[in-house]
């Protein structure tokens, strides 16, 4: 089938005296009929290459691999246990409750029953302190702009509350569940077009009252790109408001319900802080003067004293402290050793009780605990083992295996290892490598290298059912822990953002060279994969070093980094990438922005871009524009675009759609990298 023709326009902007070409700007408008027609033609073109007997085979196998019960940890609340579960044949997870640990699960919210195409998803849920009510959110088509509801747990009925524009709100119930503090986005039409995902503010709602009367607690006159997270003291007096624009620092304000006012607690300090209220004190989880984080403490009566006067509760260690969670009488610290998890359990005085033993190369996916319950749960995964959930039994002080997910593979047939390599500037970077034991390192193995490297997010071991067909056929999968992530603290993150962004690309390029030099694969059998910021990563690396890869798959990527901040919530990301509206920021970004570094006369690798028509995080215009540009340059290798309909950035996607897009990815890589299908 012939490649679709794409109109090219002579658009050149002069920005800060710099001429910037943008020949495919017309593809930015997703509602334009010409763009819709072009997208349909591109999907048809992609189908002609990827919808074949191999895609059908992968799809059938993925159906089997995903035909397993998926479940969350239990959250204990006053003798009740709340959790989500997706059972066999279901597209969406369902919210359940049961009375007692061995009680019969009862459905509270089942999105599968709400729409015939299963496009409605449960985005979040938060029980109150009494266990009588649960706040939850539903959104449709992956747009993530959910509506918040309250369900009466006893009656299994929704209350009158229906709060729109609550995209992943932070919710804090009062101790008696008579009301709650929450964050929400602005009402439609009250802010400029395209800014409905910004302007987040804090409100309070009393159950049964008129929503229009909800008082504004915090946010008036604040920057539009604020991100807000709430936590509260156990007695409900204090509500801590964590506010940030970027990912490297935040402020904390305290709303005092007795004084009915908001007071600044921590402002103007370049560090990250998280306040945790215990029954007798407050903890501060922070990287202030601590690259790997530490925990400070003070009495509740001294919340507002300077940070330097807080006591040290748990000092900075050699390894990264990743999270802090509290139960009624325990403080649980998750730490990371070279991107692998560990757990330390302390009492409220800070005394270490024990280290929780975890398997090698495993990752803690969640610790669910309540500050009013002694019982808690945690789950672990690895590259070759799906979720195992453990329960801390407060009666015998023991950890017990509570539930184990079905595993479609035999872990004993696999090898997981971590190897280190040197990046361009000599920095040592770790990389996970997973493959079957019988794979020979002869330099010709089909290999997929994955990376992310952004926003301080750590890439740890994870079980991916979508990769089972690849691994079972002898394919190799590798994950590089490049700078820009958070695997080694704040300096690792800062080492791959803004003026240091090229470090992320160099780290990833060095990973590919290492895999080739160590005879895992060669350039004809190597593919790279990334999503979102990782999609930007692999797009930029493919443009910079097209000679290193045979195939590239970028899912929901950013590619036009001169105009990214003009679309939706992306203005928040200038703190990560730099601001192209400032001359210095533009000059830096132009050096690596994928869309602006494609050159005539260069043959780029085979590339597959996957996006979604309702992606409200990364606008699909990025995938459309880079696809058109690369198709105009390449003479032989294929540039493919697949746009999912009624889907978003990924959250809440029905399993059926996950299987469809993943079967395309596997078919693409198998075809280009010579996997024996």
Active-site residues, by number, are 532, 649
Contact 404/388 with Cβ under 8 angstroms? Answer: yes
**Pair of tokens at residue 43:** 């999907």
Over its C-alpha atoms, the chain yields an Rg (Å, rounded) of: 25
The partner residues of 239 in beta bridges, in order of sequence, read 232, 255
**Judging by DSSP bridges, how do beta strands 201-206 and 216-218 pair with one another?**
antiparallel
Helix (H, G, I), strand (E, B) or coil at 510: helix
Q: 659 is written with which tokens?
A: 């299987």
Nearest to 389 by CA among 362, 416, 370: 362
DSSP assignments along 125-137, one per residue: EEE-TTSSEEEEE
Helix (H, G, I), strand (E, B) or coil at 71: strand
Long-range contacts made by residues 92-95, C-beta under 8 angstroms, separation at least 24?
A: 92/118, 92/120, 92/121, 92/122, 92/652, 92/654, 93/121, 93/122, 94/122, 95/122, 95/125, 95/134, 95/136
Tokens found for residue 456:
């301080």
Reduced to 3 states, what is the DSSP secondary structure of residue 628? Answer: helix
Query: Cα 326 to the chain's mean position, in Å?
Result: 23
Nearest partner of 123 among 111, 112, 133, judged by Cα: 111
- Mutual angle of helices 53-65 and 655-673, in 10-degree steps: 130
- Structure tokens that stand for 504 in this block: 């992320």
Residue 531 is encoded by which pair of tokens? 């999503």
Instruction: Give the residue among 321, 325, 269 at the shortest CA–CA distance from 292.
Output: 321
Q: Look at the block and give the residue holding tokens 């919530």.
A: 569
Q: Give the CA dihedral 256, 258, 260, 266, nearest 10 degrees.
A: -20
Q: Which of 254, 247, 249, 201 shows the shortest CA–CA distance to 228?
A: 201
Q: How far is CA 62 from CA 65, 236, 658, in A?
A: 5, 47, 9
Nearest to 317 by CA among 350, 295, 300, 297: 295
Query: Which positions ≥6 away from 625 have C-beta within 8 Å?
Result: 24, 25, 27, 28, 559, 560, 595
Phi-psi region of 168 (alpha: psi -120 to 50; beta: other; left: phi over 0): left
| Distance from C-alpha of 510 to C-alpha of 519, rounded to nearest angstrom | 14
């Amino acid at each position: 089938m012939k490649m679709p023709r794409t109109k090219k326009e002579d658009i050149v902007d002069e920005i800060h005296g710099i001429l910037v070409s943008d020949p495919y700007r017309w593809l930015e408008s997703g509602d334009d009929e010409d763009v819709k027609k072009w997208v349909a033609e591109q999907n048809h073109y992609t189908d002609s290459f990827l919808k074949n007997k191999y895609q059908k085979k992968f799809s059938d196998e993925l159906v089997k691999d995903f035909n397993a019960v998926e479940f969350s940890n239990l959250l204990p609340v006053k003798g009740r246990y709340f959790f989500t579960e997706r059972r066999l044949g279901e597209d969406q997870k369902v919210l359940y409750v049961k009375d007692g640990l061995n009680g019969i699960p009862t459905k509270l919210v089942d999105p599968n029953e709400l729409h015939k195409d299963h496009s409605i998803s449960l985005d979040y849920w938060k029980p109150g302190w009494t266990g009588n009510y649960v706040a939850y959110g539903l959104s449709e088509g992956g747009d993530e702009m959910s509506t918040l509801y309250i369900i009466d747990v006893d009656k299994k009925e929704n209350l009158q509350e229906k709060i729109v524009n609550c995209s992943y709100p932070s919710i804090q119930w009062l101790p008696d569940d008579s009301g709650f503090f929450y964050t929400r986005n602005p009402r439609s039409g009250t802010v400029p077009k395209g800014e409905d995902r910004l302007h987040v503010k804090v409100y309070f709602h009393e159950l049964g009252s008129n929503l229009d009367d909800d008082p504004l607690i915090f946010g008036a006159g604040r920057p539009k790109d604020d991100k807000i997270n709430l936590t509260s003291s156990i007695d409900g007096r204090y509500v801590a408001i964590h506010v940030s624009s970027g990912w490297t620092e935040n402020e904390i304000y305290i709303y005092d319900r007795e004084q009915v006012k908001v007071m600044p607690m921590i402002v103007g300090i370049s560090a990250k802080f998280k306040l945790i209220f215990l029954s007798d004190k407050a903890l501060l989880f922070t990287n202030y003067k601590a690259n790997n984080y530490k925990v400070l403490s003070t009495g509740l009566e001294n919340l507002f004293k300077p940070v330097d006067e807080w006591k040290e509760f748990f000092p900075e260690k050699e390894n990264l402290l990743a999270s802090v969670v509290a139960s009624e009488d325990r403080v649980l610290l998750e730490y990371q050793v070279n991107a692998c998890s560990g757990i330390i359990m302390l009492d409220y005085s800070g005394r270490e009780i024990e280290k929780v033993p975890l398997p090698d190369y495993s990752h803690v996916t969640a610790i669910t605990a309540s500050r009013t319950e002694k019982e808690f749960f945690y789950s672990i995964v690895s590259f070759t083992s799906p979720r195992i959930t453990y329960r801390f039994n407060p009666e015998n002080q023991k950890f017990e295996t509570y539930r184990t997910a079905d595993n479609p593979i035999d872990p004993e047939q696999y090898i997981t290892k971590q190897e280190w390599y040197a990046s361009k500037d000599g920095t040592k970077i770790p990389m996970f490598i997973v493959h079957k034991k019988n794979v020979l390192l002869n330099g010709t193995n089909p290999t997929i290298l994955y990376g992310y490297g952004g926003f301080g997010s750590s890439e740890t071991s994870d079980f991916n059912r979508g990769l089972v067909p690849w691994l079972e056929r002898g394919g190799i999968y590798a994950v590089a822990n490049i700078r820009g992530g958070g695997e080694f603290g704040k300096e690792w993150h800062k080492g791959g953002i803004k003026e240091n962004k090229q470090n992320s690309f160099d780290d990833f390029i060095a990973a590919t060279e290492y895999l080739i030099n160590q005879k895992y694969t060669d350039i004809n059998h190597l593919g790279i994969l990334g999503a979102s910021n990782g999609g930007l990563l692999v797009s930029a690396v493919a443009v910079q070093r097209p000679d290193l890869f045979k195939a590239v798959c970028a899912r929901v990527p950013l590619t036009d980094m001169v105009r990214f901040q003009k679309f939706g919530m992306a203005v928040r990301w200038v703190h990560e990438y730099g601001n192209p509206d400032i001359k210095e920021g533009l000059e830096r970004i132009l050096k690596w922005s994928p869309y602006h570094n494609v050159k005539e006369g260069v043959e780029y690798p085979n590339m597959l871009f996957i996006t979604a028509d309702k992606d409200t995080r990364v606008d699909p215009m990025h995938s459309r524009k880079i696809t058109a540009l690369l198709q105009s340059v390449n003479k032989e290798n294929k540039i493919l675009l697949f746009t999912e309909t009624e889907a978003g950035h990924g959250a809440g996607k029905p399993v059926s759609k996950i299987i469809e897009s993943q079967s395309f990815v596997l078919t693409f890589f198998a075809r280009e990298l010579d996997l024996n299908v």
